[in-house]
Amino acid sequence: MTVDCPICLCDIDNQDYHQLSRCKHEFCRECLQKYIVNSIQEKKYPLKCPCLKCDIEIGTTDLEILVDLSIAETFYDYAKEKAIDKDNNSFYCLTPDCKGIYFRVEGDPFTFDCEICNMQYCLKCKDIDHGEMTCEQWRIESGQVCDSLFQDYANSQKFKKCPSCTNWVEKIDGCNHIHCICDHKFCYNCGNSYPCTCGQDPHVVQEQIPEEI
């Protein structure tokens, strides 16, 4: 018995072919193994039969017969992630490196109490749980708190904002003449654009000194 492999188009004898259990398509075993390994390396999902116009997925039984278990487990791991991403009622814990998963059933609250890291999250806005506040109220409130805290810190450290790009600048040493990364020049003492009138930018002072005749 010979089989025409749809991948390499060669005739393969019955010692070297594999028939997929679900769709019954037959392939050269080596070709099918390479196809599966390459597909997993490229994180293709779902993993379908390579035959043209066949949309049937390759089953776990075939997968574990054709490739090493470690390769199959790589597929299972990212397949689970893909499935959760596509399911509007499934969520990964938002804590970095936490493996917690929440499967929400219709009627359940939109809060997630992770049993692994013990953090609480709002599933609507994907942020920490904000109690009775709406998501919009939380965005406004948390933004104001963060801005206020940083503004207090910036003031205590005597940071200055570039008048042009509004990036914060910290002067460690040197004079008050600042040349920002955006190419704008300003005075660190008064915060005004160059040339300023506070008298503390030495570049402005030097320009005001008349040249000797």
Give 21's contacts (C-beta < 8 A, 6+ positions apart).
Answer: 59, 61, 62
pLDDT number for residue 162:
87
pLDDT number for residue 205:
60
| CA of residue 99 relative to chain centroid, distance | 16
| pLDDT tens digits, one per residue of 13-69 | 667 889 999 999 999 999 999 999 999 999 898 999 999 889 999 999 999 999 999
Domain chopping of the chain, boundaries? 2-86, 108-157, 158-213
> Where does the pLDDT of residue 159 fall: very low under 50, low under 70, confident under 90, or very high at 90 and above?
confident
CATH topology of domain 2-86: Herpes Virus-1 (3.30.40)
Q: How many CB atoms lie within 10 A of CB 158?
A: 10
Give 187's contacts (C-beta < 8 A, 6+ positions apart).
Answer: 176, 177, 178, 193, 194, 196, 198, 200, 201, 204
% of the chain with per-residue pLDDT over 70 = 89
d(CA 85, CA 95): 16
Contact predicate 48/90, CB 8 Å:
no
Q: What is the DSSP secondary structure assignment for residue 57, as one 8-state letter?
A: B
Which amino acid is residue 201, in one-letter code? Answer: D
| pLDDT tens digits, one per residue of 63-89 | 999 999 999 999 998 888 787 777 777
For residues 142 and 196, which has the higher predicted lDDT (pLDDT)?
A: 196
Nearest residue to 28 (alpha-carbon basis) of 51, 11, 53, 52: 11
| Burial class of 187 by CB neighbour count within 10 A (0 to 12, 13 to 18, 19+) | buried
